[in-house]
Amino acid sequence: MIFRTFLFALPFMSLSVFAGWDDVNMSPGATALGQEIFGLHMTIFWICFAIGVAVLGAMAFILFRYRKKEGVEAAKFDDSTFLEFTWTILFALILIGMSIPATITMIRAYDDTEGDINILITGHQWKWQYEYIEDEVSFFSNLSTSLDERNNLAPKGENYLLEVDEHLVIPTGARIRFLITANDVIHSWWVPDFAIKQDAIPGFVNTGWTQVNEPGIFRGQCTELCGQYHGYMPIVVEAVSPEEYKEFIIQKKEAKLQQAALTEKLWTTEELMAMGEGVYQKNCVACHQVNGEGLAPVFPALAGSDIVMNDKARQIEILMEGVQGAAMQSYAEQLTEVEIAAVITYTKRSWGNDVNGNGEIVAPKEILDYKTNKL
Amino acid sequence: MSAVIESHHDDHHHGPAKGFSRWLYTTNHKDIGSLYLWFSFIMLFVGGAMAMVIRAELFEPGSQIVSPEFYNQMVTNHGLIMVFGVIMPAFVGLANWMIPMQIGAPDMALPRLNNLSFWILPAAFGVLLSTFLMEGGAPNFGWTFYAPLSTEYAPPTVTFFIFSVHIMGASSIMGSINIITTILNMRAPGMTLMKMPLFVWSWLITAYLLIAVMPVLAGAVTMMLMDIHFGTSFFNAAGGGDPVLFQHVFWFFGHPEVYIMILPAFGIISHIIETFSRKPIFGYSSMVYAIASIALLSFVVWAHHMFTVGMPIAGELFFMYSTMLIAIPTGVKVFNWLSTMFRGSLTFETPMLFAIAFVALFTIGGLSGLMLAIAPADFQYHDTYFVVAHFHYVLVPGALFSIVAAVYYWLPKWTGYMYDEVLGKTHFWLSFISVNLTFFPMHFVGLAGMPRRIPDYAMQFADYNMIVSVGAFLFGLSQLLFLFNVLKCVYYGKSATAEVWEGAKGKGLEWTVDSPAPYHTFETSPDLTKPQTNS
* Residue B239 touches partner A, C-beta closer than 8 Å: no
Q: Do A29 and A49 belong together in one domain?
A: yes
CA distance A261 to A263: 5
Residue type, A117: I
**Does residue B333 have an active-site annotation?**
yes
SS3 A87: helix
| DSSP secondary structure code for residue B83 in this structure | I
What's the average pLDDT block by block, 10 residues per block, for chain B (535 residues)?
Answer: 44 68 92 96 97 96 93 97 97 97 95 96 97 93 94 93 97 97 95 95 97 97 96 92 96 96 97 96 96 96 95 95 96 96 95 97 96 95 96 96 97 95 96 97 95 95 95 96 96 92 90 92 85 50
CA distance B364 to B382: 18
CA distance B440 to B438: 6
Q: How many angstroms separate the first and last alpha carbons of chain B?
A: 24
Residue B238: list chain A partners with CB under 8 A.
Answer: 202-203
Q: Do A146 and A204 belong together in one domain?
A: yes
**What CATH number does the domain containing A355 carry?**
1.10.760.10
**Does residue B390 have an active-site annotation?**
no
Provide the pLDDT for residue A313.
Answer: 87
Q: Which of residues 263-292 of A touch B (CB under 8 A)?
A: none
The residue among A213, A239, A256 that closes a domain is: A256
* Residue B364 touches partner A, C-beta closer than 8 Å: yes
Q: Which of residues 153-182 of A touch B (CB under 8 A)?
A: 156, 158-162
Q: Do A247 and A176 belong together in one domain?
A: yes
| DSSP secondary structure code for residue A220 in this structure | E
Q: Do A252 and A269 belong together in one domain?
A: no
Provide the pLDDT for residue A147.
Answer: 87
Q: Do A204 and A279 belong together in one domain?
A: no
| Other beta carbons less than 10 A from residue B259's beta carbon | 22
Residue B321: list chain A partners with CB under 8 A.
Answer: 99
DSSP string over A171-199: ETTS-EEEEEEESSS-EEEEEGGGTEEEE
Residues with Cβ within 8 Å of A202's Cβ and at least 6 positions away in sequence, in order, are A181, A182, A183, A184, A185, A186, B148, B237, B238, B243
| Other beta carbons less than 10 A from residue A211's beta carbon | 18
Burial B472-485 (b: 16+ CB within 10 A, else e): bbbbbebbebbeeb
**Does residue B302 have an active-site annotation?**
no
Tell me, what's the ipTM? Answer: 0.91
Q: Do A161 and A248 belong together in one domain?
A: yes
**Does residue B274 have an active-site annotation?**
no
**Dihedral sign of CA atoms A348, A350, A354, A359 in order:** positive
**What CATH number does the domain containing A54 carry?**
1.10.287
**What CATH number does the domain containing A151 carry?**
2.60.40.420
Instruction: Say if residues B142 and B124 touch (Cβ distance below 8 Å).
Output: no
Q: Which of residues 316-355 of A touch B (CB under 8 A)?
A: 325, 327
The residue among A199, A232, A256 that closes a domain is: A256
H or E element in which residue B367 lies = helix B350-373
- Residue A218 phi/psi, 5-degree rounding, is -125, 130
The CATH number of B29-247, from 1.20.210.10, 3.40.50.20, 3.40.50.300, 3.30.1390.20, is 1.20.210.10
* Residue A44 touches partner B, C-beta closer than 8 Å: yes
Residue type, A172: T
Residue B61: list chain A partners with CB under 8 A.
Answer: 156, 160-161
Say if the Cβ atoms of B444 and A24 lie within 8 Å: yes
A-to-B residue pairs, Cβ atoms closer than 8 angstroms:
300
Its domain, for residue A225, covers: 117-256
Q: Residue A373, class by beta-carbon neighbours within 10 Å (0-12 exposed, 13-18 middle, 19+ buried)?
A: exposed
| DSSP secondary structure code for residue B398 in this structure | I
Residue type, A152: N
**Does residue B248 have an active-site annotation?**
no
* Residue B292 touches partner A, C-beta closer than 8 Å: no
Residue among A225, A228, A289, A324 with most chain B CBs within 10 A, to mutate: A225
Number of domains comprising chain A? 3
| pLDDT < 70 positions in chain A | 1-22, 325, 375
The residue among A59, A93, A109 that closes a domain is: A109
* Residue B289 touches partner A, C-beta closer than 8 Å: no
Cα atoms in the 13 Å half-sphere on the side-chain side of B202: 27
* Nearest of B175, B46, B41 to residue B119 by alpha carbon: B175
Residue A323: list chain B partners with CB under 8 A.
Answer: none
Q: Do A83 and A32 belong together in one domain?
A: yes
Q: If you count them, how many residues does chain A have?
A: 375
B41 to chain A, minimum CA–CA distance in Å? 27
H or E element in which residue B324 lies = helix B313-325
Q: Which of residues 304-333 of B touch A (CB under 8 A)?
A: 308-310, 313, 316-317, 320-321, 324-325, 327-328, 331-332
Residue A80: list chain B partners with CB under 8 A.
Answer: 282-283, 339
Say if the Cβ atoms of A231 and B457 lie within 8 Å: yes
Segments of B301-386 assigned E as strands: none
Provide the pLDDT for residue A364.
Answer: 85
Q: Do A170 and A286 belong together in one domain?
A: no
- Residue B152 phi/psi, 5-degree rounding, is -60, -35
Q: Do A272 and A364 belong together in one domain?
A: yes
CA distance B408 to B41: 14
- Residue A267 phi/psi, 5-degree rounding, is -100, 140
Q: Do A210 and A270 belong together in one domain?
A: no
Q: Do A248 and A332 belong together in one domain?
A: no
Residue type, B530: K
* Residue A3 touches partner B, C-beta closer than 8 Å: yes
From A93, which residue of chain B is nearest by alpha-carbon distance?
B328
